[in-house]
Amino acid sequence: MASSKNRRSQQALKGASLLTLAGIIAKILSAVYRVPFQNLVGDTGFYVYQQVYPIYGIGMTFALSGLPNYVGKQISWQVDLAHRRLFLRRYSLLVVIFSLLCFSLTFFLAPLLAQGMADPNLAVVIRSVSYMFLAMPFLLLIRGAFQGRNDMKHTAVSQVIEQVVRVGVILGVAYLYSQVFSQDWSLYEMGAWAMASAGIAGFTAASYLILALLQSRGTQRLFQQSKRSRALAEDPPYHLTWPQILRTFVTDGLVICSFSALLVFFQLIDSFTLYDGLLDFGLDSELAKVYKGVYDRGQPFVQLGMVFSLAFQTSYLPLLSQAFVKKQKALFREAAARFSRLTFFISLLVTAGIMAILPELNVMLFSDAKGSGVLEQYLLMTVLASWVLIYHNIFLGQNQWFYSAMALGLGLLVKGVFAHLLVSRFGLVGGVWSSLLALVMMLVLMHHFIPHSIKTESQMGILLRDTSLVVLLMWLAIMVLRWTFWLNFPKSRAFATLFVGLAVLLGAGVVLLVVRRYPILNPAEWQELPLAKYWIKNKES
């Protein structure tokens, strides 16, 4: 019996690690492809794509991880096969209705949405992305069914397939536009073809999942009905009644998913406010599109910075939930404090490191240094959003999703109210300020509800002080390198690339020297970091 439990625990741990790896690969692919895409289509082409991207981003947050995780959790909680079948049958109907509603809103209201973005030409691009919602039921339900049986392999593989196909189609379209069809296609037609990648990738991943389902008899059984499940539907238990399923779908499902897509929602608000605000600021339409494209350069930087937060989040949430259910208060407090400190430490170092080399990184990736000052401030979202995610996961671990829902509502309200106002008054940087203000307001609200014992044990003030010293030393070293470098070399993309490489090595070296010499993290926290055993071994020797 004990060995069977251990096997299940090991399988669950292995599956979680597989999903984490797939999620990180998907995040990296999603961030990295934007660089060659922008290089091929320019800032205005990048603007066209990025205006509509948040619609894809929100839909894929639901279909990639958020709702499949919820479905898998609900399936695993059911007492027997009949209850699992009834849940999946009712939830399938709910998901199909939700997906058709999303498709209808984006397809039929595309002209209205484009008008809201102050650019009617975007309607064709919005319609192009809407088809991905038709693949959502297959992606969401089959992934959830596999996860409910602790089989994470097919979910992980389908995530990677989806991203590889999407990125391949996008870059293929960008290449064809720049090399073959630049005289025949408008930028909006190019954007529509690029956004068609969402539907193509979604149905490709769905095809893989359907084939995997046909080969898994155990998972197939979840989608079949029996006399027992039909009889159960006549008099279902409370948690499988329609009102209760709908309630948990909205609370445990949509609210939690929406929080995972927080920055994508901010991008969606930017799509409706930034370009219009720049027009009110006094820019002409073509220049405003270029500026919006420059502003969107910040997204891949933030996405890459958030990869580490995602990894720690996936590792710690099950531990927090388990400690809470078993009423192990000391373990919960210790795990929450460690999770908070590690995520904040890494996100602060990564953000500061990218900010220190951003002008040259901008030239290296995008061929010019446009908007570097704005993008440096944009990067502050990495630290604040990581901190918000820390608190969100602590609340989830205690099953207190309503605090996260309150913070999400406040953040979206603040962003929505101030975005256009600040952009029309201060220009491009106003969009960044509205996001930072929204995140700060969310943090203030969430901090108020975090248990005092966790705040005390985390010692975030001391960690901020110690990490700031490391950041200062790293910045000083990179400033000396910059002064020496540009004194002896011409300013060009090639030498910007060389500088970035040397600065990364120098910055990492300074950080390692300082953190090995001074105990910023304790030994237990060190063990959680990549290559920790190597560092600790060398430190002891």
What residues have CB less than 8 Å from 250, skipping those under 6 apart? none
| 4 falls within a domain | yes
Distance CA 255, CA 166 (A): 26
Tell me the residue type at 382. T
Sign of CA dihedral 251, 257, 260, 265: negative
**How many domains does the structure of the chain reveal?**
1
34-48, 243-257, 360-374: least confidently modelled range = 243-257
267 in a structural domain: no
SS3 (DSSP) at 529: coil
418 part of a folded domain: no
Distance (Å, whole) CA 389 – CA 404: 9
Binning pLDDT at 50, 70 and 90, where does residue 420 land?
very high
- Taking Cα atoms as reference points, which of 453, 471, 470, 475 lies closest to residue 515? 470
What average pLDDT does range 456-469 have in this prediction? 87
Mean pLDDT computed over 228-239: 81
| Contact partners, residue 532, CB within 8 Å, separation at least 6 | 526
What average pLDDT does the segment 365-392 reach? 92
Distance CA 442, CA 517 (A): 35
Residue 45 has pLDDT above 70, yes or no: yes
Share of the chain above pLDDT 70, in %: 91
Query: Quick check: is 525 in a domain?
Result: no
Lowest mean pLDDT among 200-204, 236-240, 330-334, 535-539: 535-539
- Whether the CB-CB separation of 160 and 65 falls below 8 Å is answered with no
Within-domain flag for 500: no
Confidence of residue 258 (pLDDT cuts 50, 70, 90): confident
Q: Say whether pLDDT at 362 is over 60.
A: yes
Residue with tokens 């981003």: 57
The region that residue 459 occupies, defined by phi over 0 for left and psi between -120 and 50 for alpha, beta otherwise, is: left
In a domain, 69, yes or no: yes
- pLDDT for residue 15 is more than 70: no
The pLDDT of residue 177 is 94
Tokens 């969402």 locate to 198
517: confidence class by pLDDT, cuts 50, 70, 90 = confident
Tokens of 441: 């307001």
Q: Kindly indicate the confidence band of residue 271, based on its pLDDT and cuts at 50, 70 and 90.
A: very high
Beta strands in 49-201 (DSSP E): none
Query: What pLDDT score was predicted for residue 199?
Result: 95
Cβ 341 vs Cβ 521: under 8 Å: yes
Buried b (16+ CB within 10 A) or exposed e, 412-426: bebbbebbbebbbee
- Segments forming the whole domain that contains residue 70: 1-260
pLDDT of residue 222: 82
**Whole-angstrom distance, CA of residue 128 vs CA of residue 268:** 17
Would 94 be classed as within a structural domain?
yes
- Asked if the model's pLDDT at residue 91 lies above 80, the reply is yes
Residue 137 falls in which region: left (phi positive, over 0), alpha (psi -120 to 50) or beta: alpha
Whether 8 maps to a domain, the answer reads yes
d(CA 319, CA 188): 47
How does pLDDT run across 345-358, given as a tens digit for each residue? Answer: 888 999 999 999 99
Residue 300 token pair = 């891949």
* For range 516-540, the mean pLDDT: 65
Most confident of 216-230, 276-290, 324-338: 276-290
Q: The whole model's pTM is what?
A: 0.89
Q: How many Å is the Cα radius of gyration of the chain?
A: 24
